[in-house]
Structure 1
Amino acid sequence: MQSSRNEFRWLKTTRGSAIALAAALACAGTASAQAQPAPADAPETEQADAGGEIVVTGSRVERAGFDAPTPTTVIGDVELRQGSRPSIAQVLNDQPQFRATSTPASTTGNTNSSASTADLRGLGAVRTLTLLNGRRFTGSADLNSVPMSVIKRVEVVTGGASAAWGSGAVAGVVNILLNEDLEGITLGADAGISSRGDGFRYGFNGSFGTKFADDRGHFMIAAEYVDDQGAFDRLSRPNLGAGLFSLNGRLTLQPDVNVASAAPGGLIMSGVLAGQVFNPDGSLSPFGYGSVVSPNSPTTLPTSMLGGAGRSQNDYLAVSSPYERINLFAHASYELNETAKLWIDGSFNRMESDFGFFPDVRAVSPATPTTAAAGGILIQRDNAFLSSAIRNRLIAAGQTSFRMGRFLDDIGELGILNYAYKRDNIEGAIGLDGEIGGGWKYSAYFGHGELKNRQALQNQRITANFNNAVDAVISPTTGQPICRIALTDPTTLCRPLNLLGYGNASAETVAYAFGDGGNTTVTKLDTTGFSVRGDAFSTWAGPVSVALGVEARRESIETTQVDALSRQGALGILNFSALDGSFNVKEAFAEAVVPLLDIEDTATLELNGAARYSDYSNSGGIWSWKVGATSRLFDSLLLRAVRSRDIRSPSITELFTTRTTNIQPVTDPFNGNQVVTVFRYGGGNPDLVPEIAHTTTIGGSFSPKFIPGFSLSIDYYRIDIDKVIGSLSAQDIVTQCFRGNTGLCDQIVRDSTGAITTVFATNLNLASYKTRGVDFEASYQLPLDTVGAGLPGSLRFRALATYVDTLLINDGVNTYDRAGDVGDNAAFTTPKWRGTGSITYQSEDVNVDMRMRYVGGGNYNSLQPIVNNRINSRTYFDLGAQFNIAERFTLTATVNNLFDRDPPPIAYSSAIYDVMGRYFQVGAKVRF
């Protein structure tokens, strides 16, 4: 145990958060389409580069004026600065098409803590392909790895795009484009804090760019440091202690649900002393039960209650996890001649954290008077730490032992379970872009990246040692407490553990009975590709443009270290395992744009088709394709439609990841809807096969000439996914087992009384997902000098909304609709409506933003018979200002959730509602 603790001692000195798979460029090609996208897809001022053209992520074809049939939304300067978000993932989460599945605030009790990913449609981040400058990169698993200071814009393709970009583009593509043409020096700093006085975050960033070799070469480098100290005050944030409460078999959502079968210091749950809690000096006092306990029955022990002196395991969780990160990115390019440019880039990312997770709770399970209570901690009548008065009462009652429920929240220096990790990722890529004559262009690249991931869950029970230490007696020779095992084994290292009262565990006993588990893994990514694009020939309506290419990549994961206790299976919460594996894929793709009609100023019609063949070493060959069409009428109306077959192969983490753990409250319909807190364990599965999705998108955009500066787009989407890879929430597994899915019942572990203790949620190929919805986007740019001569600046109005009609989940036995489920215990929490609207005033010296974020309400969980199941909607307002001084200095100030709108009732955390509350942030930047 001591060696295990030393192995992870370095983790205890860090601070921060997030499980980070870091970043850089492990490319997927630079053959992106140059075009003017539909005006409704983004404001014109944000679309254009210096040359008036931008990359269109919805296609690999390169041709000016080409309208991709797949809708694309651009997130530009205004959206990037609104809210002063610390990572690009959290910028994306403000957009209605995304769900904040993984953020510092939504994974506070999870070994994925603080990771920030992009999750389009709420179908899971793994179904959104995230690119950096059009290339795959390992940092897509945690977008904290991308320096915010050098992001130029983000293009979001809200539809299937596997044929163009490869596996993973089921819900869409997010392409993060960096400003690689930076010149000069820029330095910045910012800081923020919540209105509760927690959540303090500060950061520094800087960049430098210059040309060289008579402007044939360019070099840039950027660095970023962020220290987020986390938010821990759950009590001052209304509704964060809420949860489901069962009374007479009826479930209700209540604001303060606590455990009634365990307490700090120890709560006696059986025999003549039941209902008494140990004081720090070992005496007893009545436990402060809440206003209502459940189950409220003379024949069953209570497990939960409203209010009272008890606690919930969630009370110990952070509101937002702390983390510390360092990012470094560099890029250099050099024009070898007039037709070829060599480029190279690299990045380093470090993400680390060390913070209190949650306490181990040894709760007593329900039981009848004729059945001994199980679970908890068994205390014998001759326990060395029992007072004579308590022992005499047990003797008088003829009782030889009792069961005690206890929060292990006072163990050693750490107190509760502690999670610590450090992720280091270093990656580089090199490529060559050029022309080969006749207007044809080519791109070639190679990239390699390595992520070293060290993590530890500290202060765990060593099961056998803990049980021996708890069973303490008085030594017949010394009269001092010893472990009972020492009576027969004088050489034992066991030291007696006093859990009868808060804070009585000695340091030497903690060293014997508790230990750390952890492992170190190395994930590698190698990727390479070559592509060409150009005009093959012309028809009566214009040139037929094509893109052709081949790509290959190899991903692997290797466990280089596992602690000795985990290898023995000795730990009581999480035994880390050694999982190793790899896969590779070879791909070829082709795409073409065929114009069929071109009547100047009247109508155009183009067909767009693409196909990709992928050969995976672990699952074989598979095709993806798309067919689409666009028609522009009178230069004002663009109509588009696309049908695609998209794939998603199992990721390296889904195939081979070690076990993940978190805690979740679960309602057990098998036991009268009793609410218990359980451990949910996830993990990889090497037998997974690729998902197959079919996506249909139909819509268009309208930019009338009679309203200059206005644009509107509406797009309907339909996504059907088969052989889905994923895992369910603990509650969904229990509920679907109750509804007849016996396969899921095998993933539930119960104790001897039938109470649920553990739910396994290993990745599986589930049956199917089906989702339908509509995206809306509107913008209007109003130069104020058109209102009144001499008025400076302009007003910009923009609104985005998404309506989700259905989100059908078929687990093989039952089909249920998750659209409109918004509770934190339901998988795929997806409100029917989400929207953002903003008004921005822009001038040379001042920019002011007012933004509204709307999250629709719905059912807490439609699969559960909850009396007050309805959750109301929430509307948040953000206010920001930016002041430019003397062309070199910029000052910013932001207030998010201006009116401090409370979250709805939440037992754990929320992926869709704001749990932080009002948050202030200021910043400054100087340019040389």
Structure 2
Amino acid sequence: MRKLVSNRKLGIARGSSAAALVVALLSATPSFAQTAPAAPAEAVAEDDTVVVTGSRIVRDGFDQPTPTTVIGEAELRQGQRPNLAQVLNDSPAFRPSVTPQVSVGNTSSGSAPVDLRGLGTNRTLTLLEGRRFVGNNNLNYVPMSLVERVEVVTGGASAAWGSDAVAGVVNIILKDSFKGVTVGGVGGISTRGDGARYGGDITAGTSFADGRGQIMVTAEYVKDESIPDRNSRDRLGSAGIVRLNPTSTTDLRQILVPDVNYGNQTPGGLITTGVLAGQMFNSDGTLRTYGAGTSLNANPAIRFPSQVLGGADAVGLYDVVAVTTPLERISAYGRATYDFGAVKLWADVSYGRSQSTYAFLPDIGISPALTISATNPFLSQTIRTTLANAGETSFTLGRFFTGPYSLIYDGTREQKEGAIGIEADLGGGWKANAHFSHGEVDQAQRIRNARIVSRFNAAINAVSSGGQIVCGINADASTTNDDAACRPLNLFGLNAASPEALAYIRGTQQNDTVSKLDSAAVQIQGDLFSLWAGPVTVAFGAESRWEEQKSVSGALDLAGAFGPLNLYGSPVSGGFDVQEGFAEIALPLLDIEGTAKIDTTGAARYSDYSRSGGIWSWKGGANVTLFDTVMFRGTRSRDIRAPTIGELFSTRAINVGPLVDRDTDGRAAANAAYNPTPATVTTYSGGNPDLMPEISHTTALGVSFTPKFIPGFKLSVDYYDIKIDGAISTLSGSNLTLACKNGNAAACARITRDATGTVTEVRSNSQNLAIFETGGVDIEASYVFPMSAIANIPGTMRIRALATHVREFVIDTGVSRVDTAGDVGAGTGNAIPSWRGVLSFAYQNEVLGLDARVRYVGAGKFNSQLDQSVNPTGYLVNNDIGAYTYLDMGARAKVMDRVTLSLNINNVLDQKPPLSPVGPVFYDAIGTYFTFGARLNF
């Protein structure tokens, strides 16, 4: 769907998010339409934008009842964010679930999805010009230089747009046309001299055939360097939750403290038993006394506990995990259009490629207690003599496998898509549009330096034979276990291992996945007839979609050669298709000019999935406008989310083993042979091809205030309530029995019992058994005015506030019901602040632009489940986290007619994040960051 521009300003229903309270986001294009005093042409044009995403119906004067927030030119430039996802993450209605500082230590680097309402990235539908695009919500390849605005529907919209629009819709609107050539460059650096980012873009466009044809192309390059040293930032080292008084049997309180480390291992190796216990290996294989920390074990007699506080030689996991992940990407986009008059044809083509390589984890799959022979020839003669004199044949080595043993993530994504479409004027006010697109994503993932378990076990058993150090398997009496390729591994010192030994024990985990999306749609809109209050407008159409994924892993991965860190041993392949029909109607009931106006809307969609069959989604809404000043609006919708290919088809695994039945009431009395702890229960896990779509119901009520006595001002407040039934979740076999006991019928259906009542089989794969509930209030305020109204200064001032208050965020699995609204701690599942906001100011004249914004994260709990009211004995004593405020500033100046220079400073005051065991979600981990840019127009 293309951008539409009307000849007059339209009062478009909006207002999701935002605040005038504690607030945050950048200056805004006042996406509220009003008659405002004269302002520079660049500023005024943005007010003429028609918001199209809240409804399929696009009509002048039609006020949509669905709250929609517009992220305009001002927000897009604020902070000089490297991609569109990070721009949206600055808005309070979004949860920054996947970002360079959140994705450390996992394999999601290179992906940039958005998560509206915190309900998960797969419950936010992203559209490009009103159509789906391949890439599963990945906004890395959206051409930033061509983005005109982003419309965010903050509420269920499945009736209009289909599956995944449970939390809402993000619709990216690109510029209609472009003439000339623009070249831009950008560079950034933190005040600590790290985290460098640089890139550039070029955009070109022209018209032909007397303006009927348009061609525009753009290409972008961005390289974002990693910040590898976590200890370069305050409060980001290896923090952890520990007992306040570890040795007390009565005081079970906990505390979050920094510098929590391993007490039983070091990067070079620590001897933890025998006569040399407490000695650690230097790089040259010699020993020195270990600088231990304070034990955090309940038993102080344990000399080498798993956790210590501090310690000169002690290290923690997050001491070697990066602050941010690196990314290098290129993207290109082209569009051609030709207007024949009544018919307009268009074609899009896009390409994107991203690559990320970095040391993302040490090898945490190796036991911290390796048994080493006292005669190991890599030990010095002095050490072997000391052990022999003590009569010891072995000792225990605790080693933190970082450095040459660190796992290297190497991921490449390549995205290609083409789309064609037509827009036609059918006459009599009727219009039609249609499109078809095909896209593919090729993802190659590699985990380099991965340890092959069997080879590692062989290599660490080093012996002396014939005057050489060899692997024990090649020197023992048996020849069946010989491996001529085996090279003995020296574990005594950080870099003691030979390149040959490292090459022998290492392999590369690998997975190659191809995802495809074909999408087709047709829509017709027109006025059926006119009533006393205006025309009755309908939009109807059909859509089809085909999705498939094929994934291939390496032979070693499939064989489980990499042990507990075998990430790609279960590749996922499968597909589905869906055919849909939809219709929407706008029915005006009253229109008394200047006094009262009432509009109602209704929409319905029927979706027929090849895996689960047919399902309905619908939406109804109305708004009432009084005196062209106050508008009340409300909607109620039923929305759906179809299961993903991974949820449907991830490899099914079978395990036979023990189970603890937690639904035992009355069973032994009913049958004496009942067994509450059966030893041979068959458990099925993995995907579930029988999954059904999730069903969500959303209620939204709001009011918008545009007083005539304050031209350029608008305030809106919107309440939302979302409940998802049959949310897809996974429970263990034991938890399934507990959920069944708690009354969850879906869980009961996954359990098979024999005649005695004993559990014989459980299906603990993905199931439609959870309930998600969330609700709150969005606030948006905007004020646009010419500076001449208050002083003899040219230009326009924009003030905008966005805020979101989350009243509740409940996840009920049938086993537990947890409300995490107000949780803000890193590592706390589903944490989401009670208040989040942004307040921005933007001044613009013909030459100079100045921006300032304040981003706000409200006070909350690190983890509400550790609060004293919930856990009165083992509560977290420092569970409260105060409010955080970040200041960002920016400036732009035209130094010549064709050249614009820019400077942005994020986190001007270098605000430190709260103490964080992992990458903080809502807080800035980087510190003050400068970005410089230049743009040249031809």
Tell me the TM-score normalised to structure 2 length. Answer: 0.86
CA contact 1:103–1:114 (8 Å) conserved in 2: no
Aligned to 1:553: 545
Aligned to 1:624: 617
Q: For 1:701-780, what aligned pairs fall within 5 Å after superposition?
A: 701-725=704-728, 764-780=767-783
**Aligned-residue offset at 1:863:** 1.9
Aligned to 2:655: none
Aligned to 1:480: 469
Aligned to 2:756: none
The question of 1:37 aligning with 2:39 is answered no
The question of 1:512 aligning with 2:504 is answered yes
Q: For 1:179-578, what aligned pairs fall within 5 Å after superposition?
A: 179-241=175-237, 242-246=239-243, 247-248=246-247, 249-299=252-302, 301-308=304-311, 309-336=313-340, 338-361=341-364, 376-411=369-404, 415-475=405-465, 477-487=466-476, 488-489=478-479, 492-559=484-551, 561-572=552-563, 573-576=565-568, 577-578=570-571
CA contact 1:565–1:575 (8 Å) conserved in 2: no
Q: Which moved more, 1:700-709 or 1:384-393?
A: 384-393
Cα pair distance change 1:726/1:102, threshold 3 Å: farther
**Aligned-residue offset at 1:394:** 3.9
CA shift digits 1:385-441 (9 cap, x unpaired) = 233443344445554333322122232xxx511000111111000011101121110
Question: What SS class does the counterpart of residue 122 from structure 2 fall into?
Answer: helix
Question: What SS class does the counterpart of residue 548 from structure 1 fall into?
Answer: strand
Aligned to 1:7: none
CA shift digits 1:165-208 (9 cap, x unpaired) = 00111111111111131111110001000111111000110101
Question: What SS class does the counterpart of residue 305 from structure 2 fall into?
Answer: coil
Distance in 1 (alpha carbons) for counterparts of 2:416 and 2:571 = 23
User: Which of residues 786, 792, 795 is equivalent to 1:793?
Assistant: 795
Cα pair distance change 1:40/1:410, threshold 3 Å: closer
Q: Which moved more, 1:51-60 or 1:804-813?
A: 51-60
Distance in 1 (alpha carbons) for counterparts of 2:726 and 2:170 = 23
Tell me the TM-score normalised to structure 1 length. Answer: 0.87
CA contact 2:225–2:325 (8 Å) conserved in 1: yes
Q: Letter of the aligned partner of 2:221 in structure 1?
A: Y
Distance in 1 (alpha carbons) for counterparts of 2:764 and 2:784 = 49
Structure 2: tracts of 5 or more residues without a match: 17-27, 34-43, 653-684, 748-762, 867-874
Q: Letter of the aligned partner of 2:573 in structure 1?
A: D
Q: Letter of the aligned partner of 1:252 in structure 2?
A: I
Structure 1: tracts of 5 or more residues without a match: 1-28, 365-374, 660-681, 745-759
Distance in 1 (alpha carbons) for counterparts of 2:839 and 2:262 = 42
Distance in 2 (alpha carbons) for counterparts of 1:491 and 1:319 = 41
**Aligned-residue offset at 1:859:** 1.4
Aligned to 1:635: 628
CA contact 1:820–1:830 (8 Å) conserved in 2: yes
Cα pair distance change 1:349/1:210, threshold 3 Å: same
Distance in 1 (alpha carbons) for counterparts of 2:111 and 2:743 = 32
Distance in 2 (alpha carbons) for counterparts of 1:645 and 1:103 = 31
**Aligned-residue offset at 1:310:** 1.4
**Aligned-residue offset at 1:31:** 11
Distance in 2 (alpha carbons) for counterparts of 1:647 and 1:238 = 43
Q: Letter of the aligned partner of 1:141 in structure 2?
A: N
Q: Which moved more, 1:117-126 or 1:585-594?
A: 117-126
Question: What SS class does the counterpart of residue 70 from structure 2 fall into?
Answer: strand
Distance in 2 (alpha carbons) for counterparts of 1:326 and 1:714 = 40
Question: What SS class does the counterpart of residue 143 from structure 1 fall into?
Answer: coil
Cα pair distance change 1:761/1:151, threshold 3 Å: farther
CA contact 1:31–1:443 (8 Å) conserved in 2: no
CA contact 1:325–1:349 (8 Å) conserved in 2: yes
Question: What SS class does the counterpart of residue 868 from structure 1 fall into?
Answer: coil
CA shift digits 1:356-395 (9 cap, x unpaired) = 111113665xxxxxxxxxx532212332223344334444
Cα pair distance change 1:689/1:130, threshold 3 Å: same
CA contact 2:15–2:778 (8 Å) conserved in 1: no
CA contact 2:378–2:490 (8 Å) conserved in 1: yes
**Aligned-residue offset at 1:288:** 1.4
**Aligned-residue offset at 1:233:** 2.6
User: Which of residues 822, 838, 841 is equivalent to 2:840?
Assistant: 838
Cα pair distance change 1:230/1:575, threshold 3 Å: closer
Q: Which moved more, 1:87-96 or 1:382-391?
A: 382-391
CA contact 2:109–2:356 (8 Å) conserved in 1: no
CA shift digits 1:490-509 (9 cap, x unpaired) = 55322111102221111111
Q: Which moved more, 1:831-840 or 1:893-902?
A: 831-840
CA shift digits 1:245-294 (9 cap, x unpaired) = 23245421001111112211112233443332222233332221113433
Question: What SS class does the counterpart of residue 296 from structure 2 fall into?
Answer: strand
Distance in 2 (alpha carbons) for counterparts of 1:258 and 1:121 = 35
CA contact 1:160–1:646 (8 Å) conserved in 2: yes
CA contact 2:332–2:350 (8 Å) conserved in 1: yes
The question of 1:784 aligning with 2:787 is answered yes
Cα pair distance change 1:847/1:447, threshold 3 Å: same
**Aligned-residue offset at 1:726:** 5.1
Q: Letter of the aligned partner of 1:323 in structure 2?
A: L
Aligned pair count reads 841
Q: Which moved more, 1:760-769 or 1:865-874?
A: 760-769
**Aligned-residue offset at 1:601:** 0.6
CA contact 2:32–2:47 (8 Å) conserved in 1: no
Cα pair distance change 1:293/1:394, threshold 3 Å: farther
**Aligned-residue offset at 1:656:** 4.4
Q: Letter of the aligned partner of 1:531 in structure 2?
A: Q
Distance in 2 (alpha carbons) for counterparts of 1:321 and 1:741 = 44
The question of 1:168 aligning with 2:164 is answered yes
Aligned to 1:815: 817
**Aligned-residue offset at 1:300:** 7.6
Q: Which moved more, 1:422-431 or 1:138-147?
A: 138-147
Question: What SS class does the counterpart of residue 579 from structure 1 fall into?
Answer: coil
What's the RMSD between the two structures over aligned residues?
2.7
CA shift digits 1:542-561 (9 cap, x unpaired) = 111111010000000112x4
Cα pair distance change 1:922/1:361, threshold 3 Å: same
Distance in 1 (alpha carbons) for counterparts of 2:109 and 2:374 = 42
Aligned to 1:603: 596
CA contact 2:705–2:716 (8 Å) conserved in 1: yes
User: Which of residues 70, 75, 82 is equivalent to 1:86?
Assistant: 82
Distance in 1 (alpha carbons) for counterparts of 2:924 and 2:358 = 22
Question: What SS class does the counterpart of residue 75 from structure 2 fall into?
Answer: helix
Cα pair distance change 1:133/1:540, threshold 3 Å: same
